[in-house]
Amino acid sequence: MLQPWSSRPLRFVALALVLLCSATTSATDRPAASPVAAAAPAITWTYLKANPGDREHLADFLEANWLAMDAQAVEAGLFRGYRLLVNDQADGEWDVVVEVTYNDACGYACVAEAFEAIRARHVEQRVDGRGLRELGRVLRTETVRARG
């Protein structure tokens, strides 16, 4: 015949198993972090070359147009940030870079529709009566990520 105290270890083991199973279940029931959200945010660098003598005009155009739209995108939560970089070399391959930092690794693809709505509402601000084509050209766009 079992003594009353002999059932206590079984109760303890049963309780421990219940706690262990519930802890394991709740950990696996939690949604996993999105690989896109967990990865470093995408950053795009768009390199532009000004027409001869138009470097400052091109920078002015980009500030009045591209950066104005980028500011709206940041305000809307589409982008994390943006900036305009100017090459110190007068005869470099490129004259200015527009950098956009997105909120996650998905980059432009995940905000394209909303950003295109911003672009559609934007009224181009010309510099001395000239637009992008008269001031310079886009050379290329690269997507990069910060390491670490």
DSSP 49: E
pLDDT value at position 47?
Answer: 98
Would you state the pLDDT for residue 39?
A: 84
Cα–Cα dist 79/71, whole Å: 9
Note the pLDDT tens digit of each residue in 15-35.
344 444 444 434 444 344 455
Which one-letter amino acid corresponds to residue 79?
F
Residue 145 has pLDDT above 70, yes or no: yes
Number of CB atoms found within 10 A of residue 61's CB: 26
Gap between the Cα atoms of 78 and 102, Å rounded: 7
The pLDDT confidence band at residue 117, using thresholds 50, 70 and 90, is very high
* C-alpha of 127 from chain center: 29
Worst-scoring range by mean pLDDT, 10-24, 45-59, 96-110? 10-24
Neighbours of 58 (CB within 10 A): 23
pLDDT at 128 over 90: yes
Residue 106 binned pLDDT confidence (cut-offs 50, 70, 90): very high
Which tens digits make up the pLDDT trace of 50-59? 999 999 999 9
Helix (H, G, I), strand (E, B) or coil at 148: coil
Which of residues 22 and 111 earns the better pLDDT score? Answer: 111
